[in-house]
């Protein structure tokens, strides 16, 4: 995490890191946890039938400083693109965003170009989705974050700045 990102991120009690796979969420979360005492919570996809709103209310109720490496925001993007629907609606997401905001939290949108994301994924995993698929995810996150910014604090960080 660059010094500038650390400086603003540590002003918050909850930092929700979001963006498509390969955007740098885990790298940033580890830095906040290691260097600044945040408790890191990594949110993987939960099984069907799980009450996601309740799951995230429980996570957000944990005491202390939290850094979320992915959150309910991903469900709003990956759900429709990969599974045909989101298991959360915007009303539920707005209520969760209000909890983050009430706890002095911020949403950080990590983004980049499809080429940057593909290069990061290839370096990490040896392969990456097509540029078209990555582009659709980036567009999905941009649309969700444009909406989210109407009800919660959002900071967008390009991949180059997050390195």
Using 50, 70 and 90 to split pLDDT, how confident is the model at 4? low
pLDDT digits (tens, 9 = 90+) for 44-83: 777 778 899 999 999 999 999 999 999 999 999 999 998 8
Residue 8 vs residue 131, higher pLDDT: 131
Mean pLDDT is lowest, of 4-8, 26-30, 65-69, 78-82, for 4-8
Given a cut of 60, is residue 161 above it in pLDDT? no
Class of domain 3-158: alpha beta
Mean pLDDT score, 104-114: 95
CB 52 within 8 A of CB 72: yes
How many percent of the chain have pLDDT more than 70?
Answer: 93
| Residue whose tokens read 């400086």 | 7
* DSSP symbols for 97-147: HHHHHHTTEEEEEEE--HHHHHHHHHHHHS----HHHHHHHHHHHHHHHHH
Q: Quick check: helix, strand or coil at residue 76?
A: helix
Mean pLDDT score, 132-151: 96
Q: Could you give the C-alpha distances from 48 to 40, 42, 44, 77, 91, in angstroms and in order? A: 24, 18, 12, 16, 20
What is the number of alpha carbons within 13 Å of residue 145 lying toward its C-beta?
24
**Average pLDDT of every residue of the chain:** 90
**Number of neighbours of residue 81 by Cβ within 10 angstroms:** 14
pLDDT at position 3 is: 47
Instruction: Work out the burial of residue 152: count CB atoms within 10 Å of its CB; fewer than 13 is exposed, 13-18 middle, 19 or more buried.
Output: buried
pLDDT at position 49 is: 81
């Amino acid at each position: 995490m660059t010094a500038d990102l650390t400086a603003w991120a540590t002003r918050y009690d909850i930092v929700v890191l979001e963006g498509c796979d390969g955007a740098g969420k885990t790298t940033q979360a580890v830095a906040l946890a290691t260097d600044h005492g945040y408790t890191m919570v990594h949110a993987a996809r939960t099984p069907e039938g799980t009450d996601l709103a309740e799951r995230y209310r429980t996570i957000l109720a944990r005491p202390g400083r939290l850094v979320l490496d992915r959150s309910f925001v991903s469900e709003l993007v990956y759900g429709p693109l990969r599974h045909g629907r989101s298991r959360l609606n915007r009303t539920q997401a707005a209520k969760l965003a209000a909890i983050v905001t009430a706890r002095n939290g911020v949403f950080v949108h990590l983004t980049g170009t499809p080429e940057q994301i593909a290069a990061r994924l290839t370096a990490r995993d040896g392969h990456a989705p097509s540029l078209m698929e990555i582009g659709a995810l980036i567009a999905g996150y941009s649309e969700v974050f444009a909406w989210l910014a109407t009800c919660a604090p959002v900071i967008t960080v390009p991949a180059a700045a997050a390195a």
